[in-house]
Structures are given as C-alpha cells and as structure tokens.
A and B are shown apart, each in its own frame.
Chain A
Amino acid sequence: MKPHNIQFELNGGKVALIVEPGDVLLDMLRGKLGIKSPKVGCDRGDCGACTILMNDKTVRSCLVLAVEADGAEIVTLEGANSRKWTRKLQKKFHEKNAFQCGFCAPGVILSATELLEKNSKPTVYEIKKAIAGNLCRCTGYEPIVEAIAETAKEKC
C-alpha cells in the first residue's frame, strides 16, 4: 500500500512521519511517538479512554486514521500546559481523588477541558452530558463531576 508523508502539530511541536493508509492515529501516537496518555480501551469509540484534542475538539483517536492527522493540530494530556483549564482540572482531580486506576483520567480531563472552553459555567447536568462518553469503572463518577464543577468555580 502506498505510504503517505504527513505533517502535523503535536503538543506545540512539529511532527513529520510516514504512515500506511491503515495506520490508526491512537496506535501511531502510542507506538511511534511515545505519547502514552491516550489509552487503548474498547478500541471502537465507546469508552473515551483514547480521547485527544484534534483541532480543538475532542475525538476518539482509535477511530481516526493516522493519515487524517495531516495538517491537524493535536493536543494530548502531555501538552496540557497549552490549555488554560487542563492543569487546573488535573490539580482538582488529584485533590478530589477523582481517579483511582487513572485509565480514564486523560480522556475525562480532555473532555472536561473542551466543555469548560465552550462553557465556563456548566451545570451538573451539562457536566454529566459532556463526560457521558468517558467510561470510568472505579470512581462512580461523583468525584469526577465534583472536580469539574469545582474547577469551573475557580477563576481562569
């Protein structure tokens, strides 16, 4: 199969590499670029563990071809410093013990980042809707929702 040269921005730096048409973005990030915060969970778009920001929107990186990243701007939790809410969310998650095994946390925090960037005063209902696609098997969600709600109350 014909390989493709792609270039994109990853956490503020430029990346250029050669990919096969069938390479998946999640596998490329983890396997070739050493970006380990997006996790391989269900690998079919259901669980949200592989969530990344692509052109400022959360996407399931397990459902994106690597070649589609050409020209895109990609942010993972490793690049959290570039987003105004992400570090605050991380701190608050830590404070509220809002993750246990941590497998879902990168995805949840990026979903919450996207929410707060669009709506800095979300209701609990809106928070629940925003993270509905991120499955957590440890916390029962309550501390996650609290952590996001309390982050939103802080000045940014």
Chain B
Amino acid sequence: MPITTEFEYMRPKDMDAALHAFSLYGEKAKALAGGTDLLVHLKENLSLPEMVVDIKALDELGGMALKGDALRIGALVTFSDLIDSLLIKRKFPLLWEAALTVASVGVRNRATLAGNICSAVPSADSVPALALYDAVVLTLSLKGGRRVLISEWFTGPRKTALRPEEIVTALELKLPEKKHAGCYMKLSRYEGEDLAQGGIAALAFSDNTYRVAACALGPKPARCPKTEAALNGNKLSEKLILKAKGIILEEVSPIADIRSSREYRLHMTQIMLGRALEIAVARLSGKGPKYGTENSC
C-alpha cells in the first residue's frame, strides 16, 4: 500500500540539526527510528507529518550502559538489542522477559523501547517493567533537557508528556538495591503480533517487599500502589495472594472491546497477578520457570 500523505525526509548526522528540525516543524515533525508504528500510521493517514526526521544516524542515541545503579538505554536500542544483552538479562530480567513478548522477531529487530513509550498505547508490554524499575525518560530540545518520571510520562491513551519540539534521547532505569526477581504475565491469544489484552508485572525482593504494575488494564500503564502496600512485609501465601487479588481490582479499569470483555479482563487480572507473584517469588530462590518461558496466559 503506498503512503499517500506527502512529507519530506531528513537523516541528520548531528543532534543540533535534528533539534532544529523539531523546533521548526513542531507537531508537523515525526521522529523515525524503527518505524514499526510510524509506517502504519503514515499508511493509514493517522499521522500527517510535513517532515520525517530519521534519527538513526545520531550515534549519541545508541547504546546501553550501567553506571552505578543507573542503566541508560539509548533511544535507538531495539527490543532485539535488549534481548541480546546479557546486562539486561542478568540485571534487569523483568525488562528482558517483557521484551521477549513484544510482537515478533522481525518487528523487534527494528522497534525501539523509546518508540514503544512514545507510541504510548495502553498495551505497551515494556511499560510495566519500566515502571517497576523506576524509569525516567530523558528528552532534549534546543531549550535543553528534561527528565520525566515514567509515572508522569503517559497522559492518556497514545498521549505523552513529550513536547512537540523535543525528542526522547534515552531511558534511565534504576537497578534495585536489593536482590530481586520478576515476572511479566501477558494475556494474549497467540504468539507473534498480538497486543496484550492485559499484562501484569511483578518484582519480588528478598525482604518480602513487592512491586506490581499493569498494562492494557486502564487508559495508561501504571504501578498498583494499593496492591503493593497490601503485599509488603508479608511472606507470599495463598491467603496473601487472595487478598491482593481483591485489592488490584480497585486499581485497574479495563475496557471491553473486540478482543475481550471487561469481565474477562478483570478475572484474568487476578489470575495473572497470582501467577506473576508466585513465579517471581520462586525465581527469587532460583526455582520457577526460566525467564521468557511460561509467561503468557
């Protein structure tokens, strides 16, 4: 299918030229990295830019590095890069597991983590993990840089705090101080391209504290603080899981759509929470399924 909307294309080699373009065109400029969302939007006339700025020649947007407890993931890092990274697999296993559930290999080879949060669909698989690792989004414009907490990044479905003259340069994740293990459960109908009908991520720590976040179960992916509070300080038990299952229903507000009813999503929210917590705790003591397996409902 041809793209009918007309736009200019540029591939700047230095950041200054890119930022000038975003300053000049504002909302009429679109950043192109993997293009797996942008091309679909262009084909369907959902996006009508005057200038497409290919940011792939901007070397400073690439790479991953852990300095102290801060992991910087450049805006050009793809999901395949995350999956191929031993650093991510060892230190941020929940993000690694979530990356494996994103679309398919051919999409992951191009799609970037930064693009996932810029597209900002409620079902973004990476976001519960980002929320649990206290991610910060780093943006840049001619006016300077900003650091936006992931909890303040999403302003609604497909809406973010990114300003028209800005680009995302990187994400910064915080390595938890204590030993941790995690699990991302994704409710989907088949492998490959399916969007999450719901997703729950959990982190478990050795001191009986927990972190829980959800995606596709509300207008934006988010942490579940009430559920976390109910869990914290307690050893995981059937009774505790039952209590948490009751509380998480207060923190999600799924829609009904062609893929599943609201009632089904609410029911599966509880199932996913229980499984994610059990698997995370089992992994904490070296048991449970390997990361990247048995995480779809």
Interface-located stretch among A40-48, A73-81, A88-96, A146-154: A40-48
CA distance A46 to B107 in the complex (A): 9
Contact B191 A128 (CB under 8 A): yes
Tally A-B pairs: CB < 8 A: 108
Interface of B is mostly: loop
Q: CB-defined interface of B62-100 with A at 8 Å, one 1/0 digit per residue?
A: 000000000000000000100000000000000000001
CA distance A128 to B105 in the complex (A): 11
**Binary CB contact string for chain B from 15 to 39 against chain A (1 if under 8 A, 0 otherwise):** 0000000000000000010011001
Q: Which residues of B contact A134 (CB under 8 A)?
A: 104, 106, 192
Q: Which of A4, A27, A58, A129 contacts B106 (CB 8 A)?
A: A58
A22 x B7 contact (CB < 8 A): yes
Contacts of B1 in A (CB 8 A): 24, 40, 43, 62
Chain B contacts for A57, CB-based, 8 A: 80, 109
The contact size tier of chain B is: 20 to 34
Q: Please give, as numbers and ranges, the residues of chain B lying within 8 Å of A59 by CB-CB distance.
A: 106, 109-110
- Tell me the minimal C-beta distance from A51 to chain B in angstroms: 5
Q: Is there contact, CB below 8 Å, between A133 and B2?
A: no
Measured CB to CB, the closest approach of chain A to B257, in angstroms, equals: 17
What CA separation (Å) do A119 and B156 show in the bound complex? 41
* In the bound complex, CA of A70 to CA of B11 (Å): 11
Contact (Cβ within 8 A) B39 A1: no
B206 within 8 A of A: no
User: What 0/1 pattern do residues 136 to 149 of A give for CB contact below 8 A with B?
Assistant: 00000000000000
Residues of B close to A51: CB separation below 8 A:
106
Interface residue? B202 (CB, 8 A): no
Q: Is the CB of A132 within 8 A of B104?
A: yes
Given contacts A59-B110, A62-B39, A63-B35, contact A133 B193 (CB under 8 A): yes
Query: When the two chains form the complex, which single residue of B32, B80, B100, B192 contacts A135, counting CB atoms closer than 8 Å?
Result: B192
Q: Are B191 and A132 in contact (CB under 8 A)?
A: yes
Check A24 against B105 for contact (C-beta < 8 Å).
Answer: no
Question: A156 to chain B: closest CB distance in Å?
Answer: 20
A64 in contact (CB, < 8 A): yes
Interface size on A (CB < 8 Å)?
Answer: 39
- CB-nearest residue of chain A relative to B56? A68
Contact indicator A64/B42 (Cβ below 8 Å): no
In the complex, are the beta carbons of B104 and A44 less than 8 A apart? no
**CB atoms of A58 and B191 under 8 A apart:** no
Tell me how far the C-beta of B34 lies from the nearest C-beta in chain A, rounded to whole angstroms. Answer: 8
1/0 contact trace for B92-136 toward A, CB 8 Å?
Answer: 000000001001111101100000000000000000000000000
CA distance A125 to B11 in the complex (A): 39
Chain A residues, CB < 8 A from B32: 65, 68
B5 within 8 A of A: yes
Please measure, in the bound complex, the distance between the C-alpha atom of A57 and the C-alpha atom of B78, giving whole angstroms.
12
Interface residues of chain A, those whose CB is within 8 Å of chain B, are 1-2, 4, 21-24, 27, 40, 43-48, 51, 57-60, 62-65, 67-68, 70, 107, 111, 114-115, 125, 128-130, 132-135
Not counting A1-B7, A21-B52, a sample of 16 additional A-B residue pairs whose C-beta atoms are within 8 angstroms of each other reads: A1-B6, A1-B8, A21-B7, A22-B2, A43-B43, A45-B103, A48-B104, A48-B192, A57-B109, A60-B106, A60-B107, A64-B35, A64-B110, A65-B35, A67-B9, A68-B35
Ranked 6 nearest A-B pairs via Cβ: A133-B104, A132-B191, A21-B9, A132-B192, A22-B3, A63-B39
18 CB contacts below 8 A, A to B, read: A1-B6, A1-B7, A2-B8, A21-B8, A24-B3, A43-B43, A44-B40, A45-B39, A48-B192, A59-B106, A59-B110, A65-B35, A115-B105, A125-B293, A128-B191, A132-B190, A132-B191, A134-B192
